[in-house]
Amino acid sequence: MEIQQQTIGAVTVLRPRGPATQDDAAGLSAKLMEARTRSLGRVVLDISVVPFVDSVVLEHLLDITEELGKTGQALKLSGANDVVREALELTDIASMFELFEDVNSAVRSFL
């Protein structure tokens, strides 16, 4: 999985491309933790071009959001398609994340 990174103001936006599977989970987690440190927890994960996520990736995302929650921060997800939203809802973890329709809305939420 390719992961692009962009900085918008003081917010780091990560954009993985392609299906998010267990083979990608550790790398995605490392990128998110690195971005968290660099941008003081202001991180948006733009999943608009991720067609689906498997349970291992969901578990990693949940671990990261719980870690961020210890300092009053949250993992913000943008652009989730219906398949990804359904996976979040079926696993009953959708409420653990701040979900936004697009990157701009997610970035503005830090203001």
What's the pLDDT tens digit per position in 73-96? Answer: 878 999 999 999 999 999 999 999
Per the CB < 8 A criterion, the answer to whether 105 and 96 are in contact is: no
Query: What is residue 72's DSSP assignment?
Result: T
Per the CB < 8 A criterion, the answer to whether 65 and 75 are in contact is: yes
Please state the pTM of the whole predicted model.
Answer: 0.94
First to last CA, the chain: 30
Query: Which pLDDT does position 81 carry in this prediction?
Result: 97
Choose which CATH entry (3.30.750.24, 3.40.50.2300, 3.90.280.10, 3.40.50.980) describes domain 2-108: 3.30.750.24
Query: Which pLDDT does position 43 carry in this prediction?
Result: 94
Task: Please state, in angstroms and rounded to a whole number, the distance separating the CA atoms of residues 107 and 6.
Answer: 11
Give domain limits for the chain.
Answer: 2-108
